[in-house]
């Protein structure tokens, strides 16, 4: 089984703000904890369950051996889950003993009923604003992650797939003013060429050009100031 020390690299769960990222990181960490051909992720999904007890001595001995294995699995999962939480979050789940119960508690807190969650995701997507400290690649990745979860919820509740143009629209309309002219250039492209990959590549290229432009302007201003002060 892989060392669980990797959970030190995971940002601690502190609430709804980082739940989606935390869930992604923790489930993948559980996935690589493999023992006896099974992963610890199965403990929280219900795929790995405690063994059934028997009556004969041989069956009881086998049951005890399997129970030891399950307890080890469960302990690994509990350790990963609870160590990757802040103190307040840990206090909310510490009354639960098994990893599955802890996971179900977290789901009840952060994964609302499908309809409620869908409404929340829609509002989040259409009210999203770019963090000034994010690069274009980071900004697109955040929107794409939100979009993927939204698509899953829409398909689950309504059995339809939202058009990709919704995501492309949100990417374009959450950009700084420096990218305003790019929108008309993008909209002139053939519809079949409008993909997230193509849009991201062009925006990243434009981002580099804007940085070079701003660097040249800053350098020129610094030079002029230096000349004036001499």
- Retrieve residue 200's tokens: 């991201």
d(CA 8, CA 154) in angstroms, rounded, equals: 34
| Predicted local confidence at residue 218, as pLDDT | 46
Q: Report the number of distinct structural domains present in the chain.
A: 2
pLDDT in tens, 146-175: 898 888 878 777 778 889 999 999 999 999
158 shares its domain with 131: yes
> If you search the block for the tokens 């059934």, which residue do you land on?
52
- The residue out of 76, 110, 144 marking a domain boundary is 110
93 shares its domain with 119: no
165 shares its domain with 135: yes
- The residue out of 110, 138, 163 marking a domain boundary is 110
121 shares its domain with 225: yes
pLDDT in tens, 184-205: 899 899 989 999 999 999 999 9
28 shares its domain with 118: no
pLDDT at position 230 over 90: no
Full 3-state SS string of the chain:
CCCHHHHHHCCCECCHHHHHHHHHHHHHHHHCCEECCEECHHHHHCCCCCCCCCCCHHHHHHHHHHHHHHHHHHHHHHHHHHHCECHHHHHHHCCCCCHHHHHHHHHHHHCCCHHHHHHHHHHHHHHCCCCCCCCHHHHHHHHHHHHHHHHHHHHHHHCCCCCHHHHHHHHHCCCCHHHHHHHHHHHCCCHHHCCHHHHHHHHHHHHHHHHHHHHHHHHHHHHHHHHHHC
**Once rounded to an integer, what is the mean pLDDT over residues 199-227?**
70
pLDDT in tens, 31-79: 888 887 888 899 998 888 888 776 555 677 888 888 888 898 899 999 9
174 shares its domain with 98: no
91 shares its domain with 172: no
**Once rounded to an integer, what is the mean pLDDT over residues 118-128?**
84
By percentage, how much of the chain surpasses pLDDT 90?
36
- The residue out of 77, 93, 110 marking a domain boundary is 110
Structural domain of residue 69, as residue ranges? 4-110
By percentage, how much of the chain surpasses pLDDT 70?
85
Phi, psi of 132 (to 5 degrees): -55, -25
Average model confidence (pLDDT) across the chain: 83
| Predicted local confidence at residue 56, as pLDDT | 53
> If you search the block for the tokens 């309504």, which residue do you land on?
158
């Amino acid at each position: 089984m892989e060392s669980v020390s990797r959970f030190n690299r995971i940002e601690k769960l502190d609430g709804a703000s980082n739940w989606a990222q935390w869930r992604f990181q923790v489930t993948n960490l559980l996935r690589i904890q493999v023992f006896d051909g099974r992963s610890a992720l199965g403990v929280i999904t219900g795929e790995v369950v405690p063994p059934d007890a028997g009556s004969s001595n041989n069956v009881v001995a086998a049951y005890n051996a399997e129970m030891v294995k399950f307890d080890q699995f469960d302990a690994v999962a509990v350790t990963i889950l609870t160590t990757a939480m802040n103190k307040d979050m840990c206090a909310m789940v510490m009354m639960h003993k098994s990893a599955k119960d802890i996971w179900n508690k977290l789901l009840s807190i952060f994964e609302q009923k499908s309809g409620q969650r869908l409404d929340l995701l829609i509002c989040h997507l259409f009210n999203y604003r770019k963090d000034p400290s994010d690069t274009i690649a980071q900004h697109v990745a955040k929107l794409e992650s939100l979009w993927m979860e939204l698509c899953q919820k829409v398909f689950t509740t309504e059995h339809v797939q939202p058009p990709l143009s919704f995501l492309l629209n949100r990417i374009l309309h959450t950009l700084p003013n420096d990218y305003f002219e790019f929108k008309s250039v993008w909209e002139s492209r053939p519809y079949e060429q409008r993909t997230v990959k193509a849009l991201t590549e062009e925006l990243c290229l434009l981002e580099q050009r804007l940085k070079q432009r701003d660097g040249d302007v800053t350098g020129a201003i610094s030079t002029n100031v230096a000349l004036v002060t001499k």
